[in-house]
């Protein structure tokens, strides 16, 4: 039986709490009587036979959709789009959900006599995936069938010939997406819904869109009006994508949506302590913790990064739904919430977020300072429903080494953003106004995005906007154990220890502040009442 999420009130008997710190973790003592630890629910039970569940979902779609088999016919043009490497986190063990679903779809397409099939990795403005990453996501059989004949594509948001402008929403938002997909008789979109933000109309309207289209919702105003973007009911990002999705449907773009959910079994059994509650650690867990931290202390940052990048999560599929986009997404969101929601009473003055080694944009890469900001203030801060776990004017304490380091291939424009933009200002509005256009249209970034494995030139801006709501909400951000120079460049305050950080926080929130420790990963959503 899966236990739900839990909020522990810290007292004198509470053991030190595991706190992530990049490629490592620490045990931190929290002040008794005014601290609480928010734990995620335990992993849901997985589907006993995922392949059978997928077949069943394709045959019994939700909403007004016909079964997939009935939508396929000889001579048609079929495009299968799928989520990119940004999820799940950490990458899951083989077979990946995408492989299972795509193989099932292809079996049905073959039986229906469909020849014109293309696979498109829905990158949006993310970096192109490498061959090994693609093989991991969709499996060798699919890769070897499609890649050699040029039928495995990666969406290119900068290819003028490869995009088509569908129209403009009632709010004036351009909808421009991948031409091959839009001109297909059917788009089958294959999702992994790691968080509540993923999927729905966002799949096509974002994953297959151009910068011209994305800029309508990936901007400061939208992010500040998404409270949070993990809560579809109160997300301007969600609303914009929904308007775009409905325009696509009204324009005759046919989408068959397939969404899968995962449980939050994020770490292998050797490191089971990472997702246990500390007072329940066995002797073996304690030994694993000691051995892990000692071993990690002997590694160089690069070696530690490689070690963590090799982690493949034992995530297992908990649901699969297919059919009409909104009907499917409603069920998927329900499942995501079932796995991730934790009821939390009220806000605290301070929130502590231990940042792990990975976020959606540094898979097989480096968590650079901008991604540290995005992970802390974009993702973890926004993993709430109702209200943030920290009060307005409160303090967020992030724990991460925040190295002054960037992956030169994956994040070239990030380096310039850090060196040029953040040395001038950290105000998202000023940044958007003064710098975004130049970075977005820089020919070198465009070239690297299209031909190498670089994120689009504008991507670091989006990372900064992701944290815009938190920046507006918080009174101060403190980073524990980070490169002091890098932390200051981000506009945050560096601290050596959690205790130092709490001392510094008292300048803003007063003595004896109340504290929430967000014990994540695994991922959860704080349902703050």
Are 492 and 477 in contact, with CB atoms under 8 Å apart?
A: yes
DSSP string for residues in 435-483: HHHHHHT-HHHHHHHHHSSPPPTTHHHHHHHHTHHHHHH-SEEEEETS-
173 sits near another protein (criterion: CB under 8 A): no
Q: With CB under 8 A as the contact rule, which of the stretches 16-24, 242-250, 437-445, 519-527 interacts with another protein?
A: 437-445
420 sits near another protein (criterion: CB under 8 A): yes
Q: With CB under 8 A as the contact rule, which of the stretches 60-68, 105-113, 443-451, 458-466 interacts with another protein?
A: 443-451
Residue among 284 and 447 whose Cβ is closer to another protein: 447
Residue among 254 and 438 whose Cβ is closer to another protein: 438
| Cα–Cα dist 231/227, whole Å | 7
442 sits near another protein (criterion: CB under 8 A): yes
- Closest by CA to 515, choosing from 31, 20, 6, 29, is 31
Radius of gyration of the chain (CA): 22
Q: With CB under 8 A as the contact rule, which of the stretches 179-187, 374-382, 411-419, 473-481 interacts with another protein?
A: 411-419
| Cα–Cα dist 16/354, whole Å | 14
Query: Considering the complex, what minimum distance in angstroms separates the CB of residue 461 from another protein?
Result: 14
Are 490 and 478 in contact, with CB atoms under 8 Å apart?
A: no
Query: Considering the complex, what minimum distance in angstroms separates the CB of residue 449 from another protein?
Result: 13
Query: Considering the complex, what minimum distance in angstroms separates the CB of residue 490 from another protein?
Result: 16
Residue among 231 and 416 whose Cβ is closer to another protein: 416
Residue among 360 and 403 whose Cβ is closer to another protein: 403
Residue among 242 and 417 whose Cβ is closer to another protein: 417
28 sits near another protein (criterion: CB under 8 A): no
**Candidate residues 23, 416, 436, 527; the one interacting with another protein per rule CB under 8 A:** 416
443 sits near another protein (criterion: CB under 8 A): yes
419 sits near another protein (criterion: CB under 8 A): yes
Phi-psi region of 281 (alpha: psi -120 to 50; beta: other; left: phi over 0): beta
Residue among 279 and 444 whose Cβ is closer to another protein: 444
444 sits near another protein (criterion: CB under 8 A): yes
DSSP string for residues in 304-343: HHHHHHT--B---EEEEEEESHHHHHHHHHHHHHHHHEEE
Residue among 415 and 508 whose Cβ is closer to another protein: 415
Query: Considering the complex, what minimum distance in angstroms separates the CB of residue 312 from another protein?
Result: 31
| Cα–Cα dist 414/443, whole Å | 15
**Candidate residues 76, 296, 330, 415; the one interacting with another protein per rule CB under 8 A:** 415
Q: Pseudo-torsion of CA 370, 376, 377, 383, nearest 10°?
A: 140
Pairing of the two strands 317-323 and 77-82: unpaired
- Calculate ∠ Cα 419-123-214, nearest 5°: 70
Site string for another protein, 86-105 (x = CB under 8 A): --------------------
Query: Considering the complex, what minimum distance in angstroms separates the CB of residue 416 from another protein?
Result: 6
- Closest by CA to 395, choosing from 519, 489, 520, 503, is 503
Query: Considering the complex, what minimum distance in angstroms separates the CB of residue 439 from another protein?
Result: 9
Q: With CB under 8 A as the contact rule, which of the stretches 6-14, 417-425, 462-470, 513-521 interacts with another protein?
A: 417-425
Q: With CB under 8 A as the contact rule, which of the stretches 156-164, 229-237, 313-321, 408-416 interacts with another protein?
A: 408-416
> How many CA atoms are closer than 13 Å to the CA of 179, on its beta-carbon side?
9
133 sits near another protein (criterion: CB under 8 A): no
| Cα–Cα dist 401/119, whole Å | 38
Are 505 and 350 in contact, with CB atoms under 8 Å apart?
A: yes
Query: Considering the complex, what minimum distance in angstroms separates the CB of residue 407 from another protein?
Result: 15
Residue among 412 and 482 whose Cβ is closer to another protein: 412
| Cα–Cα dist 83/33, whole Å | 44
Residue among 120 and 405 whose Cβ is closer to another protein: 405
161 sits near another protein (criterion: CB under 8 A): no
Residue among 286 and 447 whose Cβ is closer to another protein: 447
Q: Backbone phi, then psi, for 10, in 5-degree steps?
A: -75, 130
Query: Considering the complex, what minimum distance in angstroms separates the CB of residue 412 from another protein?
Result: 8
Residue among 49 and 420 whose Cβ is closer to another protein: 420
CA distances for 143 relative to 25, 124, 134, 267, angstroms: 37, 20, 7, 27
404 sits near another protein (criterion: CB under 8 A): no
Are 120 and 151 in contact, with CB atoms under 8 Å apart?
A: no
**Candidate residues 447, 451, 496, 512; the one interacting with another protein per rule CB under 8 A:** 447
3-class secondary structure, 493 = strand
Q: How many residues bind another protein (CB under 8 A)?
A: 11
Q: With CB under 8 A as the contact rule, which of the stretches 15-23, 175-183, 347-355, 415-423 interacts with another protein?
A: 415-423
* Three-class secondary structure assignment of 369-424: HHHHHHHHHHHHHHCEECCCCEEEEEEEEEECCCCCCCCCCCCHHHHHHHHHHHHH
Structure tokens at 486: 């890098």
Q: With CB under 8 A as the contact rule, which of the stretches 21-29, 201-209, 317-325, 441-449 interacts with another protein?
A: 441-449
| Cα–Cα dist 130/237, whole Å | 29
- Residues near another protein (CB under 8 A) are 412, 415-416, 419-420, 423, 438, 442-444, 447
């Amino acid at each position: 039986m899966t236990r739900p999420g839990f909020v522990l009130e810290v007292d004198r008997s509470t053991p030190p709490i595991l706190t992530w710190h990049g490629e490592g973790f620490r045990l931190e003592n929290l002040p008794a009587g005014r601290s609480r630890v928010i734990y995620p629910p335990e992993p849901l039970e997985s589907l006993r036979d995922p392949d059978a569940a997928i077949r069943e979902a394709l045959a019994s779609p939700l909403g007004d959709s016909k079964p997939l088999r009935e939508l396929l016919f000889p001579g048609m043009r079929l495009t299968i789009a799928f989520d990119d490497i940004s999820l799940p986190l950490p990458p899951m063990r083989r077979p990946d959900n995408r492989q299972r679903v795509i193989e099932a779809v292809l079996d049905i397409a073959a039986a229906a006599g469909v020849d014109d099939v293309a696979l498109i990795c829905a990158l949006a403005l993310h970096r192109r995936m490498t061959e090994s990453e693609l093989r991991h996501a969709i499996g060798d059989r699919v890769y070897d069938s499609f890649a050699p004949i040029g039928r495995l594509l990666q969406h290119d948001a900068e290819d003028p010939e490869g995009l088509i402008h569908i129209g403009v929403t009632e709010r004036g938002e351009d909808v421009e997406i991948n031409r091959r997909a839009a001109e297909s008789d059917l788009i089958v979109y294959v999702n992994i819904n790691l968080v509540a933000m993923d999927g729905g109309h966002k799949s096509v309207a974002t994953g297959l869109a151009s910068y011209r289209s994305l800029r309508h919702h990936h901007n400061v105003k939208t992010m500040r009006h998404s409270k949070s973007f993990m809560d579809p009911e109160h997300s301007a990002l969600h609303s914009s994508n929904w308007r775009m999705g409905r325009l696509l449907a009204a324009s005759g773009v046919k989408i068959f949506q397939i969404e899968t959910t995962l449980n939050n079994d994020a770490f292998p059994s050797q490191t089971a302590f990472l997702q246990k509650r500390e007072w329940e650690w066995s002797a073996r867990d304690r030994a694993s913790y000691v051995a892990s931290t000692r071993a990690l202390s002997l590694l160089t940052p690069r070696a530690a990064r490689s070690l963590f990048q090799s982690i493949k999560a034992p995530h297992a599929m908990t649901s699969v739904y297919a059919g009409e986009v909104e009907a499917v997404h409603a069920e998927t969101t329900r499942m995501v919430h079932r796995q991730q929601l934790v009821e939390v009473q009220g806000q605290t003055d301070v929130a502590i977020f231990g940042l792990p080694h990975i976020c959606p944009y540094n898979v097989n890469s480096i968590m650079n300072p901008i991604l540290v900001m995005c992970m802390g203030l974009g993702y973890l801060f926004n993993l709430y429903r109702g209200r943030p776990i920290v009060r307005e004017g409160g303090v967020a304490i992030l724990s991460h080494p925040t190295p002054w380091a960037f992956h030169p291939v994956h994040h070239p424009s990030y380096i310039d953003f850090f060196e040029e933009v953040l040395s001038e200002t950290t105000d998202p509005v000023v940044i958007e106004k003064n710098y975004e256009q130049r970075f977005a249209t820089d020919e070198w970034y465009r070239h690297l995005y299209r031909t190498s494995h670089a994120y689009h030139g504008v991507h670091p801006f989006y990372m900064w906007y992701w944290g815009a709501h938190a920046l507006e909400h918080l009174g101060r951000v403190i980073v524990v154990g980070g490169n002091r120079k890098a932390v200051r460049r981000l506009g945050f305050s560096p601290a050596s220890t959690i205790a130092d950080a709490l001392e510094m926080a008292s300048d803003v929130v007063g003595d004896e502040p109340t504290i929430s420790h967000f014990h994540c990963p695994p991922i959860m959503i704080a349902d703050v009442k």
